[in-house]
Amino acid sequence: MEILLLGTGSADGWPNPFCRCASCRWAADAGQIRGQTAALVDDILLLDCGPEAPRSAMRHGRTLAGVKHILFTHGHWDHVGTMALLMRHWSAASEPLDVVGPRSAIDQCRNWVAPDDPVRFIEVVPGDDVRLGAYRVRVLAAAHGADIGGDAVLYDLETVGGRIFWATDTGPLPAETQAAIAGADFDAVFLEETFGNYTGHGTEHHDLPAFAATVAAMRSSGAVVDTTDVVAVHLSHHNPIEPELTGVLSNSGARPGRDGEVVQVAAAGTSTRTLVLGGARSGKSAHAEALLAAESAVTYLATGGVREGDPEWAERVRLHRARRPASWRTIEGSDAAEQLRTAENPLLLDCLGTWLTARMDLHGVWDGGALDGVHGDIDELLAAWRACPARAVAVSNEVGSGVVPATASGRLFRDLLGVLNARIAAESDDVVLMVAGRPLRLPAQ
């Protein structure tokens, strides 16, 4: 199951566009602009869809044309953007769409579809158990929304690819909800944490102490286990700046979510392979790292190694290391195949271009050596990529669409890397092309 976080902020986002507090200034300066909380699951299912969600999907390289189900948690304006239904109508969409939610949300949507639109409204209350295609949806009570009738709900979403808990907006979970999720062993939990250090807000949202208490209760009941990715969403400027917030949340085994982040969960025994392509400074490495941000232990395979006497390269390496979590293990060198075959933790290979350069060096290709050894190494890498027992992400340069290299060796490298990229892509579950910092998910052949 793939969850793209379209937004991780509160109703006013973080930073608030009209605010100059220290938290908002830091977020703006750091480029951490969070929109209203929503998520896209497997490109098929929307969890909440506020006014900002459709455009956010486009900014992150996704289309909503394949969406078959929209689940609303409640009727507040930042979670129900009815204009999305009109946009869909204007596209002449003919596929059926399920719109699911409590009455406060459904009533707002009914007038935004035409009589002949293939839209089915499903009104739910806590305790309902709904089947939507491949997804089982258990509807749970939230502690939120007295002004809209108190009918806000939370969702326990399960498919063959994993099980997640979508818990926004809510204060400390009602006793019946805690009982319903006991022993759930969620793969990921998206729990709202709106108010940070401000505790005088009432009981319809979490602050940091309440968030910690809720997570502790979920751990005690078996809803959250050591492998659960606990992600704080619906964040506002009442929180401290993100580095401090990250430290506080880590005490609960949680972390702040980020807009555009992709959270991958998988059933036991499954693995995924992702290839991230892009030109120079396209954001490919940062995107690849974000794909594994939810993992506590990652092996970072730095195929470029170190280059003595090259201060510019040393600075590049330093910047890459500085943005990676301290818990990640870095291995320098080009023996990627062995690392892939024996991986016990998720692995990030960055990048195939420097790996190929090292293999060409090893076999003396630049001095007229035969290419047989390089092709053999590529075959070995492909076999290891297919057999990797853990999740794997590889980064590579897209060099075939630029200036034709002036030298024969440059053209040879370009051609070999193009072949390598195509072969790795054919054995990957997902291929992403980064263009100007924006990811474009490439369709399978």
Catalytic residue among 89, 144, 205, 320: 320
Q: Measured between alpha carbons, how far is 166 from 182 in angstroms, rounded to an integer? A: 15
Is 320 annotated in the active site?
yes
Give me the sign of the Cα torsion angle 84, 89, 95, 99.
positive
- Nearest 5°: CA angle at 160, between 59 and 266? 60
CB 182 within 8 Å of CB 224: no
**Which two structure tokens, joined as six digits, stand for 330?**
């870095």
CB 94 within 8 Å of CB 66: no
- Alpha-carbon distances of 25 from 15, 21, 235, 259, rounded to whole Å: 7, 6, 15, 18
CA dihedral 378, 380, 382, 386 (to 10 degrees): -170
Closest CA to 262 of 227, 286, 236, 246: 286
Q: Name the region of 183 (left: φ>0; alpha: ψ -120 to 50; beta: rest).
A: left
Closest CA to 253 of 223, 216, 289, 299: 216
Closest CA to 232 of 220, 222, 219, 242: 242
Q: Write the single-letter amino acid at 274.
A: T
Q: Point out the residues that are catalytic.
A: 320
